[in-house]
A = this chain, B = another copy of it.
Amino acid sequence: MSVITASNVDVFYGKFRAVTGVTMDFNANEITALIGPSGCGKSTLLRSLNRMNDLVDGAHVTGEITFNGENIYAPDVDAIEVRRRIGMVFQKPNPFPKSIYDNIAYGPKVIGMKPSSMDDLVEEALTRAALWDEVKDKLKQSAFGLSGGQQQRLCIARTIAVKPEVILMDEPCSALDPIATMRIEDLMVELKQDYTIIIVTHNMQQAARVADKTAFFTALPDETTGNRTGVLVEYNETTKIFENPDDQRTEDYISGRFG
């Protein structure tokens, strides 16, 4: 069952077309990985899936992106609600300059959730993000005191706390060491029971390890302007992409990596 679908999506920054003609479905309770060389528009596409691109001046989307069948760019859709339902974790851990507890409680508060016990909600979010044991004694301390990997898990916990349906992750491990990376990968696999996860990564092994499906993007010169623009080359089961890709460019990219 597809939760998010993109049909013929172009994303522009002003006049510059960063992504062209992407059509793909993202399935519920699966991890989908987006891979491809730098600048091919992975982050751009990801941000357009939950309207984070609205925050970038001049960015706009054509084509259709639906969430549970509804066009998220329809005029009567509130971007705020979209973002609450489709959460996002960023490349660099970005905890708020608040205590660990307040980092988690912030989301539920601003969206007006009224949990019977905020403490329980914080504990559960941290537990799901496999962070509870490490921080339970210092909930009132600043989140900046955590290590990079812990901060990233905090950001995941924060996202879980507002009960989204989809979690977008943009290179969530690139700032982390292998051990922290492993923990987050384990976490992703665990979370996909309940959430749909879409992840951008440069790390081919990571995609191979965690993703159910993988999409390979690359940047090609635009037919009309000649500027380079991101296109979807191939989208398939992860094993297929890594073992027996249909497209030569996918093969080159993947084998180049393993060369």
Contact = CB atoms under 8 A, between A and B. Distances in A.
A151 to B, nearest CB: 12
B180 A38 contact: yes
Contacts of A107: none
- Classify the secondary structure of A's interface with B: helix
A253 B178 contact: yes
A256 B39 CA distance: 31
Interface string A165-182: 000000000101111101
A51 to B, nearest CB: 26
Nearest to A254: B178
Contact of A178 (B147, B148, B149, B256): B256
A204 interface: yes
Interface in A170-213: 174, 176-180, 182, 202, 204-205
What copy number does this chain have within its complex? 2
A256 B38 contact: no
Interface residues of A, number: 20
A12 B13 CA distance: 48
A257 to B, nearest CB: 5
A228 to B, nearest CB: 11
A175 to B, nearest CB: 8
Interface in A207-259: 253, 256-257, 259
Among A148, A182, A202, A204, residue most surrounded by chain B Cβ atoms (within 10 Å)? A202
A179 B147 contact: no
Nearest to A38: B177
A175 B81 CA distance: 33
A58 interface: no
A38 B176 contact: yes
A37 interface: yes
Nearest to A175: B174
Nearest to A39: B147
A57 to B, nearest CB: 20
Given A37-B177, A38-B177, A177-B38, A256 B147 contact: no
B256 A182 contact: yes
Interface of A: 37-39, 147-149, 174, 176-180, 182, 202, 204-205, 253, 256-257, 259
Given A178-B204, A182-B256, 11 more contacts: A37-B177, A37-B178, A37-B179, A38-B147, A38-B176, A39-B147, A174-B174, A178-B257, A179-B253, A179-B256, A182-B259
Q: Considering the complex of A and B, which 4 residue pairs feature the smallest CB-CB distances, nearest first? A: A38-B177, A178-B257, A37-B179, A37-B177
